[in-house]
Homo-oligomer: A and B are copies of this chain.
Amino acid sequence: MNKIYLDHAATTPTRSEVVDAMLPYFTQQFGNPSSVYEVARINRKAVDEARSMVANALGATSDEIFFTSGGTEADNWAIKGIAEAYEQKGKHIITSAIEHHAVLHTCQYLEKKGYQVTYLPVDEYGQISIQDLKEAIQEDTILITIMYANNEIGTIQPIEAIGKIAKEHNIIFHTDAVQAVGHVPIHVKEMNIDLLSLSGHKLYGPKGIGALYIRKGVRIKPFIHGGAQERNRRAGTENVPAIVGLAKAIELSMKEMEESNHKIIELRDYLIKGIQEAIPHIRLNGHPTERLPGNVNFSFRFIEGESLLIGLDMHGIYASSGSACTSGSLDPSHVLLAIGLPHEIAHGSLRITLGPENTKEEMNYVLETLPKIVQRLRDMSPLYEDFLRAQS
């Protein structure tokens, strides 16, 4: 049976070039970069180089990049670190209703600590409105945190416009760009981004590594206290192999982005069109144009997402229903609810996220398999029975 991985937004394989770049730092150049002796210098240099590679990819400078254990830690640090640093100025934070849980749950935590959080609504395509943002700004707003691109429906936010408004109002702007870095071009200076989170395993780098870009001049409190690593801002022995791997992955993805996106977008559009032609009673979620190259998200009426996933799984197709993180929860995805889907339709959603190794043949196999599975589940569904009865 074919094995077709279509869940690149959940995680990506670590590229072999990346693994190769990492390997020497496990067994040979294993030293602690904080050590005084000369051999550690090689490690220090590797970390420094990695830092400037990451900086280059974002239009930042080396001393604005701080390595973390992943996107979640970067989000936690950005939001809690700014909240703490600016609590004298104010306690109001603006975010969106469709953030990843790493942002949402952190904001909810701060609400319990006496902060006030505005969750901007999104339109049916998943975008916030700049007007809403302007109206949400208060005297005591200290932070706007809006994700760059959504992990479920792929919608890209009007980041430049948000950055402009944040700057005009002298409010710090953080963006969770975990799904965007390495996939779409980003320039933190041109876009007036003050803080940006990224994660290695979403761009063919290793898991357990990420980074927070902190614009020079932004005050932020450390989140993890301890040793003097990362210029006293993030304690803990540097994860040298993963840092090297992250940088290598970012470098490769920048180099190949254009070519790779060209191919991925073609496949994506082919798949979207094919599904729309083959299956009735469905809805394409996310923005028609402002969307991540690899993202396909549909709701199929009358059926439930997990059984759809298992059905696909049995045919060797690996996809996702909403965010990987939310599986096992009772509620349908907060993102799908936020774009206005009723609960039962939100439950029937399927996310397919493509990578450069996917092929047109694979898409054809999906287009052959998916309609059958959907039909089988509809035949099993009391909701579909009721629908047909109401039709006749």
Which A residues are closer than 8 A to B by beta carbons? 3, 5, 7, 10-16, 18-19, 23, 26-28, 30-32, 34-40, 68-73, 75-76, 100-103, 105-106, 108-109, 199, 201, 206-209, 224-229, 235-242, 306, 309-310, 312-313, 318-321, 323-329
Contact = CB atoms under 8 A, between A and B. Distances in A.
A261 to B, nearest CB: 21
Contact of A27 (B16, B28, B32): B16
A18 B27 CA distance: 10
Which among A34, A109, A208, A313 has the greatest number of chain B C-beta atoms within 10 A? A208
A252 to B, nearest CB: 14
Nearest to A23: B19
Given A26-B14, A39-B3, A76-B225, A69 B208 contact: yes
Contact of A34 (B12, B26, B318, B324): B324
Contacts of A32: 7, 10-11, 324
A207 B325 contact: no
Counted per complex, copies of this chain come to 2
Contacts of A12: 30
12 contacts: A14-B26, A34-B324, A36-B309, A37-B313, A70-B236, A101-B225, A102-B236, A201-B237, A207-B241, A208-B208, A227-B324, A228-B328
Contacts of A318: 31, 35, 37, 39-40
Contacts of A69: 68-70, 73, 208, 236, 239
Contacts of A40: 318
Contacts of A229: 325
Given A3-B39, A14-B27, A226-B106, A236 B34 contact: no
Contacts of A15: 27
A1 to B, nearest CB: 11
B30 A14 contact: yes
A10 B30 contact: no
A152 to B, nearest CB: 13
Given A30-B13, A235-B102, A237-B201, A72 B35 contact: no
A200 B208 CA distance: 13
Given A19-B27, A225-B76, A226-B100, A11 B237 contact: yes
A16 B68 CA distance: 25
Nearest to A224: B76
Given A26-B13, A325-B229, A329-B228, A207 B36 contact: no
A105 B37 contact: no
A246 B228 CA distance: 24
Nearest to A240: B207
B36 A72 contact: no
Interchain residue pairs A-B with the least CB separation, the first 5: A208-B239, A69-B69, A227-B325, A102-B226, A72-B236
